[in-house]
Amino acid sequence: MYTLFQSLLFSLDAERAHHLTLAALKRAEKMGLLCFSIPKTPQGKPIKLMGLDLPNAVGLAAGLDKNGECIDALAALGFSFLEVGTVTPKAQAGNPKPRLFRLPEKQAIINRMGFNNHGIDALIRNIQTSRFRGVLGINIGKNAATPIENAAADYLICLEKAYPHASYIAVNISSPNTQNLRSLQSEDELQTLLGCLKNRQTQLASQHGRYVPLAVKIAPDLDEAQIAAIAEVAVQTEIDGIIATNTTIDKSALSPHSLAQENGGLSGLPVREKSNRVLRELAQHLNGKIPLIGVGGIVSAADAANKLALGASAVQVYSGLVFQGPALVHDCIRACAAVASDSSSVHTS
């Protein structure tokens, strides 16, 4: 069924197709049709991630549902956790169109969306009207108009407003589509930002009577020294998790494709090896001290299983769904469960 739907979608502008897909999913869910068109979710291997209990290791990455408008429908696809956003304090239109490009022959997507969203208050309203009671992450960022030296204020606004409604909160400092945002990954800037957010997290935990984990999402375009520095800061600040990784600015894998010259972040198959390198090196530095969520380049079940083998506790998918369809979720659940079972067998033998 998805193959037929995909041919229609790929005949449309990528951003229009994105919105059409979400609208169709939402309508199908409301009409009770998804239970007939989506097979029963396979039995996964339950895991604990940042203190949260998950029925399987496969989640949805941020970016697909920026405003939390399709939470119930996306949950029906079998994900054990959903991450909505990136959301900013104030609504913003994002970058000029066109800003989203598909490369089917490369199983890749280029985007320069620029945190287009309706703002944190609109996201919260959508969460409150959803029926979903599973694990929900809220991915937060800063407004484009906010100077980078004032970025912490934007993150604090989102943290405070999202806290009562989130299972965990992800701090996005790695999008290449907001000017200077990635500078927050430098050691001193990261130490300051995460220290500030962790202090507020402690206050909010006391205020609300529950602890909401805080994760940070990093880029794949980091060298070995930068990865080591991020790992050290993460341990020092006692961050609860690291999401590795966001999109890459390196489009050398696309050459000589005409879209290789487009600005924006590249996701899908071409980012797989870069993401895996960061994940592997982070796991080596952290040695299990902080859980890792592997994302980037998962276009098959084997890709998801490999993320776990490299040190991830869980994985997230997004771009792979565009090319493989919802079946990818179930395939990844089975593959990750097999990896977990094999690991258990080794430890108990």
Name the DSSP letter for residue 136: E
b/e code 206-215 from CB counts within 10 Å (16+ = b):
eeeeeebbbb
Give the list of residues 6+ apart from residue 156 with CB closer than 8 angstroms, or none. Answer: 196, 197, 200
Selected catalytic residue, list 80, 167, 174, 175: 175
Give the pair of three-digit tokens for residue 116.
């287009």
C-alpha gyration radius of the chain: 19
In angstroms, how far is the first alpha carbon of the chain from the final one? 43
**94 Rama sector, left if φ>0, alpha if ψ -120 to 50, beta otherwise:** left
| Residue 7 appears among annotated catalytic residues | no
* 120-129 vs 151-162: helix crossing angle, rounded to 10: 20
Per DSSP, 67 falls in state T
SS3 60: strand
Q: Catalytic residues, which ones?
A: 175
